[in-house]
Amino acid sequence: MNSSIPPIGFWRLLLWPSLLFVFAMILSLARFDQFIAEAFYNQQLGLWPFKHSWWAETIIHRGGRKIIIFTASGSLLVMLLSWSDNFWRPLSRSAFYLLLCIGLGTGLVATGKYILDRPCPWSLQQYGGTRQEISWRETLSCVGLTRAKSGHCFPAGHSAGAFSLSAGYFIFLKHNRKRAQQALFLSLALGCLFSFGQIARGAHFLSHCLCSAWLCWVVNWVLYFGPFKGKL
């Protein structure tokens, strides 16, 4: 850990986001997830009105995915250019860090989705689906064993791409605190937008998205203070 960063600040960067994970679990256990989801589900028609809407599916979901792919591709391009052009070399380390944060953050979320059988809202019987609601005890007792087609929606994959961009906070942390805060605000705003779109479509509960935000932040934190030793 870089000696210029006080230990209390080091742990604070992990403590507060970790409280977000605890909050997400409380939402899930207290059924506040369902309370929010039902604001977007039409009980009379038995469907999710915004599931295939142009703004939620086309712009936020498909368009948002392209933003993350473009950002990751841009980081890779900077790394490749730095090998032959000195202009890009000072940016190569930060580009590599950003690429790792996006890849590992979304990768771990995808792994969680694969091994945890947590249905999407639209897969549940009370929201027009075929799956029964299951408890967290049941989920954890069969980790990696259940392969139901309609499920495996925890954590939220789409919003993870946006939340992984909180890596920008660490990139600017030592050089420009204001830019670091702006980068963090931008990634959180984008993550909230992605989350809102998926919640409105019935693809995820709020707790799914909050857990993705927490996981991506932990990945960024570990990479920054671990392999990169606070030097970007």
Per-residue pLDDT of the chain (232 residues; tens, 9 = 90+): 444 544 546 677 777 778 878 888 887 777 899 999 999 999 999 999 999 999 999 999 999 999 999 999 999 999 999 999 889 999 999 999 999 999 999 999 999 998 888 899 999 999 999 988 887 777 776 665 555 555 679 999 999 999 999 999 999 999 999 999 999 999 999 999 999 999 999 999 999 999 999 999 999 999 999 999 999 9
Domain assignment of residue 61, yes or no: yes
As for how many domains the chain has, the answer is 1
Range of the domain at 88: 52-139+150-225
pTM: 0.89
Reference 97, options 128, 75, 77, 118; nearest CA is: 75
Q: Judge whether 35 lies within some domain.
A: no
**28 domain residue, yes or no:** no
What is the DSSP code (8-state) at residue 56? Answer: I
Of 56, 76, 94, 82, give the one whose Cα is nearest residue 183.
94
